[in-house]
């Protein structure tokens, strides 16, 4: 292997002579490549060359390769480094340089950040520039053969919806990031970056395509709200998807995602208290055909509004009715007050909205109207069940109230609140 040392700058010769007279070591020395031929294809056989160099003083270091057509490719581009201490610097080069495009090549929807050199002969240069502007170079040759030049292309990268509201109301609560990966990779990751530089990882939703294998991939993002974590602050974020193959080639696709009205909904039956008809517990007696009534207060103790649905407070059910018979079916993400008795045929059959018209805010989205209890607000909820018969064999039976987050959870603090023993007096 032929290696040439070159000094490049104005009046370099004079500076070099002055340095020699003072006994100062050359800025760059002991430069070597461990081999003059590599086959970068991740088969663990002659994939890597060890580059060695010594810096006598701090310098900006570059390592680059020129092909036979005069095109230049950087492995290191003016990276500031301190002097070598005890041993020379050593770096591993696997044929991968800063991203580039071949003549006539166009990449749609992604960019190439790192790419392996094409097969061929290259002139390499290790270059150091010192604080006084003196540049020293060492050059040689390297052959690339059998390189795995297939890129891990990211096709069809998309983010939907571009604006979402992670607050567990089941309306635009999630964002989906899709891509068609054209090659098996060692790493495929997605993250959000805020204006302050903070990163937030996005987990892949493994479906038909195994992780890291070529094919369609879907990343599902709920901003952490489903696990009870506060989401990133509202704002617009840069979404970055990166793929790295076994050779070390990197591709990257970017887009934007806006978070709005994000937060973990937290609501409670205030003080875990329910006022039952007849003065409350622990026992209440009503005649057959009589009504068990309740009054309680719901508090939205979160930073986001919480969604609800009817029927409105004050609604009176018959014991042989339920929310479905009133046309108020379960809606994922809504909060409702429910009452359950031990003999009930379904779970919490009698349900009410967590506020009335004066408590709730209307939001129209996609042609639909939704109702929300604002953050920090309280609302009085009343209702009743008229017992037209004695359900089941147990009399008395325990009845209680719960605050239900439908299809999400009934938190323990809001479950079986202020139970009362109800006796229905049968003639």
Domain that holds residue 233: 154-259
- 179 SS3 class: strand
pLDDT for the residue numbered 14: 38
Distances, alpha carbon 371 to alpha carbons 116, 305, 311, 367, in Å: 56, 9, 12, 13
DSSP states along 41-75: SSSSSS--EEEEEEESS-EEEEEEEE-TTS-EEEE
Of 199, 225, 259, the residue that ends a domain is 259
pLDDT, position 281: 62
The CATH code of the domain that includes 34 is 2.60.40.2550
CA dihedral for 350, 354, 358, 360, sign (positive or negative) = negative
For residue 413, the tally of other CB atoms under 10 A from its CB is: 11
- What gap in Å lies between CA 283 and CA 287, rounded to an integer? 14
CATH of the domain at 297: 2.60.40.10
Q: What is the pLDDT of residue 84?
A: 96
What pLDDT was estimated at residue 7?
Answer: 46
pLDDT score recorded for residue 394? 84
3-class secondary structure, 15: helix
Are residues 115 and 166 both part of a single domain? no
Q: Are residues 55 and 135 in the same domain?
A: yes
Are residues 370 and 421 both part of a single domain? yes
Residue 390 placed within a domain: yes
* pLDDT at 365 (0 to 100): 86
Asked if residue 275 is part of any domain, the answer here is yes
Q: Which of 124, 144, 164 is the last residue of a domain?
A: 144
**149 assigned to some structural domain:** no
| Interacting residues of 313 by C-beta distance below 8 A, sequence separation 6+ | 352, 353, 355, 356, 379, 380, 381, 382, 383
291: burial class by Cβ within 10 Å (0-12, 13-18, 19+)? middle
Q: In this predicted structure, what is the pLDDT of residue 205?
A: 84
The pairing of strands 283-287 and 417-425 is parallel
pLDDT value of residue 115: 98
Verify that 209 and 308 share a domain, yes or no. no
pLDDT tens over the chain, length 427 residues: 555 555 443 333 333 444 444 567 899 999 999 999 999 999 999 999 999 999 999 999 999 999 999 999 999 999 999 999 999 999 999 999 999 999 999 999 999 999 999 999 999 999 999 998 999 999 999 999 999 999 999 999 999 999 999 999 999 999 999 999 999 999 999 999 999 999 999 999 877 789 999 999 999 999 999 888 999 999 999 999 999 999 999 999 999 999 999 999 999 999 999 999 976 568 899 999 999 999 999 999 999 999 999 999 999 999 999 999 999 999 999 999 999 999 898 999 999 999 999 999 999 988 999 999 999 999 999 999 999 987 667 889 999 999 999 999 999 999 999 999 999 998 8
Total domain count for the chain? 3
Q: In terms of domains, do 244 and 273 share one?
A: no
Are residue 374 and residue 300 in the same domain, yes or no?
yes
Q: How many CB atoms lie within 10 A of CB 186?
A: 13
pTM of the model: 0.84
CA dist 404 and 267 (Å) reads: 10
Scanning the structure block, which residue is given the tokens 């696997």? 94
| Single residue among 259, 291, 318 that ends a domain in this structure | 259
Asked whether residue 176 falls in the same domain as residue 240, the answer is: yes
- Distance CA(321)–CA(167), nearest Å, equals 31
**What average pLDDT does the chain have?**
92
Cα distance between residue 115 and residue 182, in whole Å: 15
């Amino acid at each position: 292997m032929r290696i040439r040392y070159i000094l490049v700058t104005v009046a370099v010769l004079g500076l070099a002579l002055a340095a020699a007279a003072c006994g100062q070591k050359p800025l760059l020395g002991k430069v070597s490549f461990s081999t003059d031929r590599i086959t970068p294809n991740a088969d663990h056989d002659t994939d890597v060359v060890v580059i060695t160099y010594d810096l006598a003083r701090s310098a900006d270091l570059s390592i680059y390769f020129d092909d036979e057509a005069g095109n230049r490719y950087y492995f290191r581009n003016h990276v500031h480094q301190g002097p070598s201490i005890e041993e020379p610097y050593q770096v591993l080069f696997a044929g991968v340089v800063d991203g580039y495009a071949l003549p006539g090549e166009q990449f749609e929807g992604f960019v190439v950040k790192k790419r392996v050199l094409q097969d061929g002969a290259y002139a390499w240069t290790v270059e150091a520039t010192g604080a006084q502007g003196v540049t020293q170079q060492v050059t040689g040759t390297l052959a690339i053969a059998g390189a795995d030049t297939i890129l891990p292309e990211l096709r069809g990268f998309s983010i939907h919806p571009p604006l979402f509201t992670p607050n567990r109301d089941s309306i635009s609560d999630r964002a989906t990031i899709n891509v068609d990966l054209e090659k098996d990779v060692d790493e495929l990751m997605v993250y959000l970056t805020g204006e302050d530089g903070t990163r937030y990882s996005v987990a892949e939703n493994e479906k038909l395509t195994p992780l890291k294998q070529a094919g369609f991939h879907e990343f599902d993002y709920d901003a952490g709200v489903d696990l009870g974590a506060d989401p990133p602050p509202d704002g617009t974020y840069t979404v970055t998807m990166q793929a790295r193959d076994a050779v070390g080639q990197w591709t990257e696709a970017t887009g934007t995602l806006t978070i709005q009205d994000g937060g973990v909904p937290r609501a409670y039956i205030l003080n875990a208290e329910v006022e039952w008809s007849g003065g409350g517990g622990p026992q209440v007696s009503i005649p057959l055909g009589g009504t068990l009534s309740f009054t309680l207060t719901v508090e939205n103790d979160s930073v986001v509004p919480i969604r609800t649905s009817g029927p409105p407070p004050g609604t009176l059910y018959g014991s042989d009715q339920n929310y479905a018979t009133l046309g108020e079916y379960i809606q994922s993400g809504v909060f409702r007050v429910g009452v359950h008795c031990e003999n009930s045929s379904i779970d919490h059959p009698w349900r009410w909205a967590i506020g009335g018209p004066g408590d709730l805010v209307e939001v129209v989205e996609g042609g639909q109207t939704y109702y929300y209890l604002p953050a920090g607000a309280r609302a009085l909820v009343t209702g009743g069940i008229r017992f037209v018969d004695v359900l089941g064999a147990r009399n008395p039976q325990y009845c209680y109230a719960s605050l239900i987050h439908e299809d999400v959870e009934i938190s323990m603090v809001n479950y079986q609140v202020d139970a009362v023993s109800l006796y229905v007096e049968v003639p």
